[in-house]
Structure 1
């Protein structure tokens, strides 16, 4: 133990020498940048005006604990007793058998679950709060409860205690080393390692579908993929991913690459690879992303293929940009897009889910101050926001694994992509958050103007396919369903199981289908009615979409299109290109 203490002291001393006190560079700032204090102050005021409700909540908690104590005492005396409360099936924190088999740890688990439920229900039943304040209080109460879970602490986690005894404390030394490495990597802030960053390299073992960069602007590179079939469909396909993350979520590995699969079906596939912007691109606007992104990509795709029209896919924020672009094109009588597919895309931000917790005037002002100082929003700040939406899976599980168990994170391609953050240009990001999330102007006819042109989503009359995912924390599916009541052309709505990423990246596997999906021949006025009358199908939604996109793609041609063969669009470099390889270290 003396040797362990000595090694620990040396590690901490070395870290402090590298990061002296007072070094706050890169910090979010002081005060309350998330504007949480005002929400909880309002909640407390409302609670005090209804002491009877508070008293009843305390009585209910006390009764739950009496029942728990009675059951635990009966079990310790050799009897059998049923649990008072169970964790949810999706809760992985209590998978270790000791949480159920050991009476003490079972008591700790149930005590925590009762208290967490009491906290959540108590704040959820406070009357008089406006919807935004209530949502913020509920969200941060859950964050607080998640942080206090007994699984997050050495003395109350049976797996960590077992590992500590077996390794004679070496796990804690390794954990401290991992912790300090992550602090150094974050330059004083904790940047949790989610995967082995050395296990992957873009273009070597992920994002490996062969192709060429055939066009580029300041904001994007356009990749054209090499055909793998003897014939290809007439109408090409261009994919517009979000610039919050990198495009290769759709091209992780051959076995789960949507891009490779689409190419193998005979589609001529292009993808936009967004730049990872720095301060030089601070003044790039949402309009610039349309002009130098979607519109420029459409120009190049049609110039390369010689076709009059292209099909297009927009994913998440890339879908919001695509919808805006299509409305702009409709205003300009531009009919060069034949059909559009939207992956987990919001156009109506009235019910924006848990992300809306981070959007209000006070938080936006604080965010804009930080962005204006640097010219961009640092990618790690956006990543932290998304990780908080699934804190137990994306924060606390790694705290336990890396720092308490002292283990190295497992190599996982999806988590490598998740950690490969991108920046946001200040002007563009401020416009997007204010006009769409805060003011919800996009859904209003002529509520937003792009390039001095008012846009109206109801003028989009081309065939549209909308894919949403049932457990999406970023683009709630019931909100995305608004597209079916907005676009005026034929709309096919698909609902996939799982979340924002796993529900989309769900390749067909007849032998072992993973997540199911739902279809419906009609689009009733409400999402609830749609699901009630929908049909569930096992396995991937990809083949269902393929049947739809084939109808929009014309006949097959005999000659596949070879990237870089057009004189006006020679190959600039091999896929995946240089833009996607720019990492924030």
Structure 2
């Protein structure tokens, strides 16, 4: 009988894993094998589909004929809608693109882009997932080779370069050299140094009232003579630092809530290192959400708590709330989920390349490092909006020599955190790959939990242009709960849509409440029926919090609970937020 080789020669398995981890470092955790296999499947099936080939040939002939008929008008710069295809594409929004020969460059590119995208669709024998992967890859290629991204074909670049006498190119080279040096030395992007935590950002007064190995709990100082009885606990995502909720004084959701009489607590997550490789997803529930609830209860005994979670923090809050409902823990007054998914079947383009092979590659990388690094995460997120976050930014900064001013939100976005190896693996497998939470297969402490058990009111918010948590995916929570649920769809993206101070006078939102027992409404019907409202959703949420609180206001609580062991440890923003 041959013994198992793993038991006798584990070093060989370790060697293979180390080799795969080294390759993953080079590709920043992206499995290019997935892309190659998608391309191979599509090319093979297209090669044996003569009907689809004939359709593409006919489409090419028709579009070429239309282009030839429109060419004289384009050469004459006539304002004819057929000369340049009407589009909302920001790549060709400049007036220069309507003039010869650039109007033909734009027209040819959009024709080619449409043709290649059609080539990826409805190919017999190609799996739906592969079709989605190929469409994503074609869009990436189209963005890369767009004439808007080729300096000598872009009229705006040519004009500004000529006007500056080539000085813009020199400034662009200086910008590139500076950014390269900053990246190699691990420094933040240019301009971020102007935003200093505790000085001009993250300045809301408060105290760290509890600290453990996973997080610090910050209690904010009151700003009114009386407050609502029920406090608000905010659970941020630990993929980023918490202070998106306390940016500049003008864009601080924390300050805004405190000024309206809410007692606010927030979790500041620790930035993990290789020593935290074995921290689990459930550790974030226990050492994060539950530990914070216990501390708030000590400070404000016999008070129900409004719990709010953002992004991944919202997902773990939903898990915690369902577990509390199972255990008859009734400390929550309500649950607010901001851009947080509980069902991952329609998680957008991020899900396309997240299969078993990709997760295995990330696991090898995290096994070697103990965590997933910030650059390895940002590469994937940037690819979802490559035209906005990569190509147009590169052209503006390195060709035109125009560096966009750094903002408080931009400085926060560059101050990223790592993800512990075990937690991230459990998150990707249990939620993204297997979608256990909404399927009724997610176990906490050995027993399955159900979102349907949550009985407290829910305020569920999604953003219209979210590429990380698509709004239709967020909306699906309404399928798995039967409590009062207020759904809000706000303008903006994953971050900008959340931080929308009312004084800015921008943005819009739609809001409707579904009562228990009410029939399900699909997302398209909901969006068509819900009346658009101008302004920030912050007012709507604050009114909702007030309506689900006791009407009588009470004196503000003390900072911490000294007699119960919760002695204030430091001033806000604490120490964990400062670690890089």
TM-score w.r.t. the length of structure 1 is 0.89
Check the 8 A contact 2:113/2:142 in 1, yes or no: yes
Question: Aligned with 2:494: secondary structure?
Answer: coil
Q: What is aligned with 2:566?
A: 569
How many angstroms apart in 1 are the aligned matches of 2:283 and 2:389? 33
**Alignment equivalent of 1:450, drawn from 434, 444, 452:** 444
Question: Aligned with 2:333: secondary structure?
Answer: strand
Q: What is aligned with 1:48?
A: 47
Check the 8 A contact 2:443/2:449 in 1, yes or no: yes
Q: What is aligned with 1:8?
A: none
Check the 8 A contact 1:85/1:114 in 2, yes or no: no
Check the 8 A contact 1:74/1:81 in 2, yes or no: yes
**Alignment equivalent of 1:441, drawn from 429, 436, 444:** 436
**Alignment equivalent of 1:262, drawn from 238, 257, 262:** 257
How many angstroms apart in 1 are the aligned matches of 2:163 and 2:76? 30
Query: Are 1:124 and 2:124 counterparts?
Result: no
- C-alpha deviation, 1:302, in angstroms: 1.1
How many angstroms apart in 2 are the aligned matches of 1:97 and 1:81? 14
How many angstroms apart in 2 are the aligned matches of 1:196 and 1:83? 44
Q: What is aligned with 2:272?
A: 277
Q: What is aligned with 2:475?
A: 481
How many angstroms apart in 1 are the aligned matches of 2:499 and 2:23? 39
- C-alpha deviation, 1:76, in angstroms: 2.6
Q: What is aligned with 1:20?
A: none
Q: What is aligned with 1:512?
A: 505
Q: What is aligned with 2:347?
A: 352
| TM-superposition CA deviations, 1:205-226 (whole Å, max 9, x none) | 2222111111111111111111
Question: Aligned with 2:568: secondary structure?
Answer: coil
Query: Are 1:59 and 2:55 counterparts?
Result: no
TM-aligned CA distance change 1:270 to 1:31, over 3 Å: closer
Stretch moving more, 450-459 or 310-319? 450-459
Query: Are 1:202 and 2:197 counterparts?
Result: yes
Check the 8 A contact 2:229/2:303 in 1, yes or no: no
Question: Aligned with 2:219: secondary structure?
Answer: strand
| TM-superposition CA deviations, 1:485-538 (whole Å, max 9, x none) | 2123222222222322222222224x9342232325566422223223322222
**Alignment equivalent of 1:377, drawn from 372, 378, 384:** 372
Check the 8 A contact 1:237/1:313 in 2, yes or no: yes
TM-aligned CA distance change 1:309 to 1:70, over 3 Å: same
**Alignment equivalent of 1:531, drawn from 524, 527, 530:** 527
Question: Aligned with 1:270: secondary structure?
Answer: strand
Q: What is aligned with 2:579?
A: 582
Q: What is aligned with 1:542?
A: 538
- C-alpha deviation, 1:366, in angstroms: 0.7
Q: What is aligned with 1:337?
A: 332
* Matches for 1:130-279 after TM superposition, within 5 Å: 130-187=127-184, 193=189, 196-279=191-274
Question: Aligned with 1:288: secondary structure?
Answer: helix
Question: Aligned with 1:427: secondary structure?
Answer: helix
Query: Are 1:96 and 2:94 counterparts?
Result: yes
TM-aligned CA distance change 1:480 to 1:146, over 3 Å: same
Q: What is aligned with 1:402?
A: 397
TM-score w.r.t. the length of structure 2 is 0.90
Q: What is aligned with 1:7?
A: none
Q: What is aligned with 2:286?
A: 291
**Alignment equivalent of 2:484, drawn from 468, 484, 490:** 490
- C-alpha deviation, 1:235, in angstroms: 0.8
How many angstroms apart in 2 are the aligned matches of 1:461 and 1:79? 63
Stretch moving more, 70-79 or 306-315? 70-79
How many angstroms apart in 2 are the aligned matches of 1:117 and 1:360? 28
Structure 1: 5+ residue runs without aligned partners? 1-22
Structure 2: 5+ residue runs without aligned partners? 1-21
TM-aligned CA distance change 1:78 to 1:131, over 3 Å: closer
Check the 8 A contact 1:231/1:556 in 2, yes or no: no
- C-alpha deviation, 1:565, in angstroms: 6.1
Check the 8 A contact 1:112/1:149 in 2, yes or no: yes
Check the 8 A contact 1:277/1:423 in 2, yes or no: yes
Query: Are 1:469 and 2:463 counterparts?
Result: yes
- C-alpha deviation, 1:380, in angstroms: 1.3
Check the 8 A contact 2:76/2:100 in 1, yes or no: no
Stretch moving more, 206-215 or 450-459? 450-459
TM-aligned CA distance change 1:127 to 1:420, over 3 Å: farther
How many angstroms apart in 2 are the aligned matches of 1:52 and 1:110? 27
TM-aligned CA distance change 1:31 to 1:441, over 3 Å: closer
Stretch moving more, 486-495 or 555-564? 555-564
Question: Aligned with 1:443: secondary structure?
Answer: helix
- C-alpha deviation, 1:288, in angstroms: 0.7
- C-alpha deviation, 1:77, in angstroms: 4.5
**Alignment equivalent of 1:501, drawn from 488, 491, 495:** 495
Check the 8 A contact 1:71/1:82 in 2, yes or no: no
How many angstroms apart in 2 are the aligned matches of 1:62 and 1:200? 56
How many angstroms apart in 2 are the aligned matches of 1:557 and 1:512? 29
Question: Aligned with 1:145: secondary structure?
Answer: helix
Question: Aligned with 1:35: secondary structure?
Answer: helix
Stretch moving more, 107-116 or 419-428? 107-116
- RMSD of aligned Cα (Å): 2.4
Number of matched pairs: 555
Query: Are 1:460 and 2:454 counterparts?
Result: yes
| TM-superposition CA deviations, 1:37-85 (whole Å, max 9, x none) | 0011111111112123223223323432332343232343575533355
- C-alpha deviation, 1:471, in angstroms: 2.4
Q: What is aligned with 1:110?
A: 107
Check the 8 A contact 1:514/1:540 in 2, yes or no: yes
How many angstroms apart in 1 are the aligned matches of 2:300 and 2:60? 67
Question: Aligned with 1:36: secondary structure?
Answer: helix
How many angstroms apart in 2 are the aligned matches of 1:87 and 1:396? 22
- C-alpha deviation, 1:192, in angstroms: 10
Check the 8 A contact 1:520/1:530 in 2, yes or no: no
